[in-house]
């Protein structure tokens, strides 16, 4: 049981390049989330998904797209990277937030630098 | 949406002393308050949580208290040890939008340093 995994762990992009971050969970969780973490800003929600085939915007969605084609995977895409997207990205999953089993489990993070 | 304020942003204590981190929230409908610990280079991990039907919860050296009237909750760590050094985040659910009712809003974090 690996929990939540993220690939890649590190990435350096040039402005304008695109990339996809992959999140996978093996806990059969319905809900998945993408956060970014910047110094002094805490964790800010980018997008989230409440089930396979559904996604919704979080607090800071601009410049990102997501897809949840399979229940266990949640992809975060940057179509045209900008230096402002330099950050550490965390994926999380939870069974739900409407039951007692609503702990969010986080992956180890992806450190992205956009030059 | 839910606004979560966390204080202090940094906290330094000596080994064996207690540490207290406080958070306030704005939405009176919030009913679930988790605390996460993030060690350097790792993702946040849940350490304790509390629901609105109780005022206090303990787990060994850590405890969380909740005051729903005042809309604040606190993390208490007793007999601190160097391995408690980390960044701690509080959070509360965001029910302001039915579409985002499943997300957590996090405080900005408290960097705790426990010196031997």
**Model confidence pLDDT, tens digit, residues A12-68:** 999 999 999 999 999 999 899 999 999 888 899 999 998 899 998 988 999 999 999
Distance, CA of A73 to CA of B7 (rounded, Å) = 35
Asked if A41's CB is within 8 angstroms of B100's CB, the reply is no
Asked if B89's CB is within 8 angstroms of A43's CB, the reply is yes
- For an interface test with A, the pick among B103, B105, B106, B110 (most A C-beta atoms closer than 10 Å) comes out as B103
Distance, CA of B46 to CA of A91 (rounded, Å) = 14
CB-based contact, B45 to chain A, within 8 Å? yes
Distance, CA of A21 to CA of A74 (rounded, Å) = 9
Q: Count, in order, helices (H) and strands (E) of chain A.
A: 0, 11
Q: Which residues pair with B74 in a beta bridge?
A: B22, B65
- Please write the tens of the pLDDT for every residue from A79-95: 999 999 999 999 999 88
Sorting pLDDT into bands at 50, 70 and 90, what band is B53?
confident
């Amino acid at each position: 049981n690996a929990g939540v995994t993220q690939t890649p762990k590190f990435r350096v992009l040039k402005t304008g390049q695109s990339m996809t971050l992959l999140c996978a969970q093996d806990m059969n969780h319905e809900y998945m989330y993408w956060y970014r973490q910047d110094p002094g800003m805490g964790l800010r929600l980018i997008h989230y998904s409440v089930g396979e085939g559904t996604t919704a915007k979080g607090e800071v969605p601009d410049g990102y797209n997501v897809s949840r084609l399979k229940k266990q995977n949640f992809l975060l895409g940057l179509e045209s990277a900008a230096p402002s997207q330099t950050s550490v990205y965390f994926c999380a999953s939870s069974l739900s937030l409407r039951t007692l089993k609503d702990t969010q489990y986080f992956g180890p993070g992806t450190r992205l630098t956009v030059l | 949406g839910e606004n979560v304020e966390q204080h202090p942003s940094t906290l330094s204590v000596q080994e064996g002393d207690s540490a207290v981190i406080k958070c306030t929230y704005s939405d009176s409908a919030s009913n679930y308050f988790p605390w996460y610990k993030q060690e350097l280079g790792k993702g946040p991990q849940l350490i304790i949580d509390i629901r609105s039907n109780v005022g206090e919860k303990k787990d060994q050296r850590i405890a969380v208290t909740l005051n729903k009237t005042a809309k604040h909750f606190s993390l208490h760590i007793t007999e601190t040890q160097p391995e408690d050094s980390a960044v701690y985040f509080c959070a509360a659910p965001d029910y302001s939008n039915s579409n985002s009712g499943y997300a957590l809003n996090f405080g900005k974090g408290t960097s705790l340093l426990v010196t031997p």
